[in-house]
Structure 1
Amino acid sequence: MKSFEVLLLMFLCIQTTISSVSSTNTAVVCSKAEKQALLSFKKGLKDPTNWLSSWIGEDCCTWKGVSCNNRTGHVVKAGPPFCSVGASVPYLDMSGINLSNSTDYLQVLNKLPSLRDLFLSSCELNPIHDLPAQLVNFSSLTIIDLLENNFNSLAPDWLFSIPSLVSLELSWNSFYGPIPVGLQNMTSLKILDLSENNFNSTIPDWLYNLRSLVTLDISDNNLRGSITSVVGNLTSITRLYLWGNELEESFGNLSQLGELYISHNSLEGEVSEVHFANLTRLKAFYASSTSLILKVSSDWIPPFQLQDIQMRSWHVGPQFPGWLQTQKSISYLDLSSTGISDEIPTWF
């Protein structure tokens, strides 16, 4: 389906009518393309009152709230109550619809002031960088998902002028340049996914000041430099994904952390009991393909109970790590190429 058909439908929901002529002629049947556009838009809307239940059958001109031109059969009005004047469309999911020919999708969406959740993943969108700040009126937006649009550009500034955002999904978009400085003002963010891009800076310390973050994924970029102790400011973080970069040093002191992914980095040096001291909630530890050395005492009792352990290419041996005996919930374990040359203990 062409992108302009979906956007036209959105305009129809925003505008009460495009034409004063509507169909009462039962011989007029709506076009197949416009019927599919209506059904696609219906799929992306929440309809708690079941108002759209009549949107079935071959002729969309007979559906509740839909009017057609009595000569051409084109839809000229589509007005369910939550679309009237575009005032109360809280949820819109157009993922997977090809919008590559659309250049004004932001202007259209900007006419939905009650929009809270916006999903436009895999839409082949074109980047819009020159939208004036005064035209951005997404004051109600809390979720934006732009996964896998392959923009191949700098991240657009308008994304970082929405302080109400709680979740921002920007992975698989070929964004490049430094981590956008505009993020530092988005203090309400709980989920930030910048993974699978080409960001190529160090990790700025201000990123660690987004204290509401629960999930931070900056994996598989070209980030470099040290993970500084300031990472400890992320006091709410439970999932931290850093793998696939060129990062150095340790990973901080994060007491709420449940999942830590630091594989395929330039991490090196010794990791001792102190590094794990406050990770009491850690359940998943993925840290393969690094040059780290585990230095813990033979009677060390970790403060966590891990379910997934991936420490491939660490230096752990030659003895089989006794602390594994304390981990009662392991479902996945990778200790390959860790220098262990010991017998497998009977308790294992």
Structure 2
Amino acid sequence: MEKISILGFILAILYFITTELACNGHTRIDNNVQSEQKALIDFKSGLKDPNNRLSSWKGSNYCYWQGISCENGTGFVISIDLHNPYPRENEYENWSSMNLSGEISPSLIKLKSLKYLDLSFNSFKAMPVPQFFGSLKNLIYLNLSGAGFSGSIPSNLRNLSSLQYLDLSSKYLDDIDSEYLYEINSEYFNNLFVENIEWMTDLVSLKYLDMNYVNLSLVGSQWVEVANKLPSLTELHLGGCRLFGSFPSPSFVNFTSLAVIALNSNHFNSKFPEWLLNVSNLVSIDISENQLHGRIPLGLGELPNLQYLDLSWNFNLRGSIFQLLRKSWKKIEVLNLARNELHGSIPSSIGNFCNLKYLDLGGNYLNGSLPEIIKGLETCSSKSPLPNLTELSLYSNQLMGKLPNWLGELKNLRALYLSSNEFEGPIPASLGTLQHLESLNLGLNEMNGSLPDSIGQLSQLEQLDVSSNHLSGSLPDSIGQLSQLQVLDVSSNHLSGSLSEQHFWNLSKLEYLYMDSNSFHLNVSPNWDPPFQVKSLRMGSCHLGPSFPAWLQSQKNLQNLGFSNCSISSPIPNWFWNISFNLQWLNLSDNQLQGQLPNSLNFYGESQIDFSSNLLKDLFLFQSKGQMTTFTELAFVGNPDLCGAPLATKCQDEDPNKRQSVVSDKNDGGYIDQWFYLSVGLGFAMGILVPFFVLATRKSWCEAYFDFVDEIVRWLFRGRATYAKNHPRRR
């Protein structure tokens, strides 16, 4: 019995304790939930959300609000992801609809479990990075890239000892499509700087650091020592940070985890930093767009994990491409050595680069011919050379010889740039088997023969440039099948023959058409309606006449037009001047155009025009609208019957002063003539009415006035009678 009493007493105590703990625990959880919710509401109240992006932020279940994630079971907020999903540079309208701005409330400090904060690509227009971010001590991820912050990056971010990912980068205006620049305020780009970077050594957990286009010019060479002290750092992005001088070397290399280093678009003026060859974990190196000089180390080809190397646009890096490409490059996928001073010929061993996706050696001094046969059949599992290559750029070198057939075996190739070399011989028909090819540029070479009909099989082709070669024959009808084609340039060859509607029937995406300096004869129906809307059209030296091409009337986006020497002998139709206001460049020279130019030519801005060597006639008077002053005499010479400014030839009976007066009178709109006639009329009326009213109201003046008039009349009659008496009429 006593044992039962003791057991009951113990159970009662346990029940009381557990009940008390449960109740208190539930109360604490409720308090925490209310605190987290209030912190989020306060944060939202400081934001400007014109398109109601945060419309879901209402009610008590905040863990389901857009951009919010909570810890399971506790309701603690662990993630706020409000990044703008649309890139501002090419989807401006979508970006603006999702854009947040305003103030960032310090209420975020109350979110004690917050680990992830992403506010990137919004527009906090030139506000500084909030100091209180340094108090969010549990943060693992912080992304403020491209959100418009400015000023000095606060050093108290050093308190974020758990931080693994930090992105304070910005886009650079050079990376933005010019079409969207006018819509983008510079305040929407981070304008941050750092005076002293030592505080970053406390970020001992940091793995990813992106400070692209943060101004580090005051940091000097400190950055390399700081990065060397971050034991977990795997990615370092310091592109466009205004770093300059010699590329610094650490006192000892401790980059045991570093896999990615990107220092592009700076001003380093030194040799390649060979200490990087000791960082065996490197996967990616980008030191493009600097001023590096000297030899490219051959040891780069032996880095066991290297997949990406970009040393382009340094201009002064030297080396033998034959020696470089004979190294193993075991995992290389992207190799960009363009715009340097590489020399030598390309070895056949390049076929062994089984993982290579992108190769750019353009703008160097490579010579010799491409190897007729390349290795790789035995090495690569696909039993084909360069099986993963998608882009091959060898433009602007001194390469020569015929194009090898193995180019047609690069089954995944999307872009082939071989322009500005000395290649000769025919274009291989095997290129027509590259079903993924989007860009083919063979311009500025010495190639001959005809354009192969197989080109029409390239269903994905967007750009075709074979300009400035020695191609002959006719243009294959199959060109008209290229439904994705945007650029077609066959200019400056020896091509001839008839161009029918079949050549263009499916080119609905065509925007740039260059066929000039050939001998084509356009043979289309008078009511032909082209399937394309081009921006730039050059067909000089093609036979388009004798009538001015009526199909041109359908081209509403035209900015550049070249119809010189096209055997056109008709007047310029009136509808042409309705589409000319968008033209920035116009050449209608060396035809037999007739008729009179309009007094007012409406072109776009500082346009360049050429009407020379035609049969235009009559007086040509400019009514200046700003841009007209840029037109020179050379634009109109060679028209025997054309006279007037800006030509030196004066028209008959042309008085410059009189012409100026006439133009001035026209500009005055008859203002002076109207006042002249009005004043004459008023003077005439006043001369009659004033004396009438005076004589009507003053009887004595009236009698005296008419007595005076009568006396004058009598005097005149007496004089007349005396004259008649003294001078009788002769019979």
- Which of residues 125, 137, 151 in structure 1 aligns to 2:342? 125
Task: Give me the whole-angstrom Cα distance separating, in 2, the residues matched to 1:320 and 1:122.
Answer: 45
Partner of 1:143: 358
Q: What are the equivalent positions in structure 2 for 1:28-67 lying under 5 Å apart? A: 49-50=208-209, 57-58=220-221, 62-65=225-228
| Structure 1 residues 163 and 81: CA distance shift in structure 2, 3 A | same
| Structure 1 residues 297 and 158: CA distance shift in structure 2, 3 A | same
**CA RMSD of the aligned region, Å?**
3.1
Task: Give me the whole-angstrom Cα distance separating, in 2, the residues matched to 1:261 and 1:170.
Answer: 19
- Using the size of structure 1 for normalisation, the TM-score is 0.75
SS at match of 2:325: helix
SS at match of 1:325: helix
1:100 aligned to 2:318? yes
> Identity of aligned pairs, percent?
33
SS at match of 2:534: coil
Aligned residues: 293
| Structure 1 residues 91 and 142: CA distance shift in structure 2, 3 A | same
How far residue 269 of structure 1 moved from its aligned partner, in angstroms, is 1.4
Task: Give me the whole-angstrom Cα distance separating, in 2, the residues matched to 1:330 and 1:288.
Answer: 17
CA contact (8 A) 1:96 1:123 kept: yes
1:270 aligned to 2:498? yes
Task: Give me the whole-angstrom Cα distance separating, in 2, the residues matched to 1:289 and 1:241.
Answer: 14
How far residue 191 of structure 1 moved from its aligned partner, in angstroms, is 0.7
Letter in 1 for 2:412: S
Q: What are the equivalent positions in structure 2 for 1:14-29 lying under 5 Å apart? A: none
Letter in 2 for 1:49: Y
How far residue 282 of structure 1 moved from its aligned partner, in angstroms, is 1.4
Deviations 1:74-106 (A, max 9, x none): 866363520653452243221134332457433
Letter in 2 for 1:81: L
How far residue 297 of structure 1 moved from its aligned partner, in angstroms, is 1.4
| Structure 1 residues 75 and 167: CA distance shift in structure 2, 3 A | farther
Task: Give me the whole-angstrom Cα distance separating, in 2, the residues matched to 1:281 and 1:101.
Answer: 42
1:81 aligned to 2:299? no
- Which of residues 456, 460, 469 in structure 2 aligns to 1:236? 460
Q: Rg: which structure is higher?
A: 2
Structure 2 gap ranges (5+): 1-205, 230-248, 261-278, 285-306, 377-383, 577-731
How far residue 65 of structure 1 moved from its aligned partner, in angstroms, is 2.8
Letter in 2 for 1:169: S
CA contact (8 A) 2:428 2:452 kept: no
| Structure 1 residues 74 and 277: CA distance shift in structure 2, 3 A | closer
Q: What are the equivalent positions in structure 2 for 1:185-196 lying under 5 Å apart? A: 185-196=409-420
Letter in 2 for 1:312: G
Partner of 1:5: none
Task: Give me the whole-angstrom Cα distance separating, in 2, the residues matched to 1:48 and 1:237.
Answer: 41
SS at match of 1:343: coil
Partner of 2:113: none
Deviations 1:10-60 (A, max 9, x none): xxxxxxxxxxxxxxxxxxxxxxxxxxxxxxxxxxxxx9921799x953367
SS at match of 1:153: strand
- Using the size of structure 2 for normalisation, the TM-score is 0.37
Task: Give me the whole-angstrom Cα distance separating, in 2, the residues matched to 1:48 and 1:245.
Answer: 52
1:250 aligned to 2:470? no
Higher relative contact order (CA 8 A, sep 6+): 1
Task: Give me the whole-angstrom Cα distance separating, in 1, the residues matched to 2:251 and 2:317.
Answer: 20
Task: Give me the whole-angstrom Cα distance separating, in 1, the residues matched to 2:542 and 2:470.
Answer: 17
| Structure 1 residues 345 and 270: CA distance shift in structure 2, 3 A | same
CA contact (8 A) 1:171 1:194 kept: yes
- Which of residues 423, 435, 440 in structure 2 aligns to 1:211? 435
How far residue 231 of structure 1 moved from its aligned partner, in angstroms, is 1.4
Task: Give me the whole-angstrom Cα distance separating, in 1, the residues matched to 2:402 and 2:355.
Answer: 28
Partner of 1:10: none
CA contact (8 A) 1:129 1:158 kept: no
Say which structure is richer in helix. Answer: 2
How far residue 128 of structure 1 moved from its aligned partner, in angstroms, is 5.2
Structure 1 gap ranges (5+): 1-46, 67-72
Task: Give me the whole-angstrom Cα distance separating, in 1, the residues matched to 2:363 and 2:411.
Answer: 25
Task: Give me the whole-angstrom Cα distance separating, in 2, the residues matched to 1:121 and 1:176.
Answer: 18
| Structure 1 residues 63 and 236: CA distance shift in structure 2, 3 A | same
| Structure 1 residues 64 and 108: CA distance shift in structure 2, 3 A | farther
Task: Give me the whole-angstrom Cα distance separating, in 1, the residues matched to 2:510 and 2:491.
Answer: 16
Task: Give me the whole-angstrom Cα distance separating, in 2, the residues matched to 1:295 and 1:326.
Answer: 17
